[in-house]
Amino acid sequence: MKSLTSRTEIQIRFSEVDSIGFVWHGNYVHFFEDGREAFGTEFGLQYLSIYKNGFVTPIVHLEIDFKLPLMYGDSAIIETIYQDCDAAKLLFEYRIFRKSDNMLSVTGKTTQVFLDLQKQLMLTMPPFFSEWKLKYGLV
């Protein structure tokens, strides 16, 4: 299976931690979003470009496995991996590392489907997405 990988760095802010200084578990979903945004910028698959092509891509599946808590003040690296597949969907895997020692903090996966602007599920790959996959050697 072919893949593309993007890496981006974030700083853990005070507003993202709980009363004991650990990142609140729900914020890791935001970090996955940060990773997808960075991936989209790097590889030309931003949410606005998808929308301008007449589609939206809601998440229909999410997995998170917690390994080591991030703390207020930590820097973290979000590694976002697009996993190619034949279906009309986006599969991403995530690894979040604490930057100071490269320890793995969280892993996860998301699945997104294509809906047209009338919110109808696309069962075939949108033409712009097929072109994108061709551009990056995924087809």
pLDDT of residue 36: 98
Range of the domain at 59: 3-135
Confidence label for 139 from pLDDT (cuts 50, 70 and 90): confident
What CATH number should be reported for the domain holding residue 114? 3.10.129.10
Domain count, the chain: 1
Mean pLDDT of the chain: 97
Q: Model pTM greater than 0.85? A: yes
CA 120 to each of CA 36, 43, 124: distance values in angstroms, whole numbers, following the listed order: 23, 26, 12
Q: Which amino acid is it at 71?
A: M
DSSP bridge partners of 16: none
Nearest to 128 by CA among 77, 57, 80: 57
- Asked if the model's pLDDT at residue 134 lies above 90, the reply is yes
Return the amino acid letter for 56: V
Residue 1 clears pLDDT 90, i.e. is over it: no
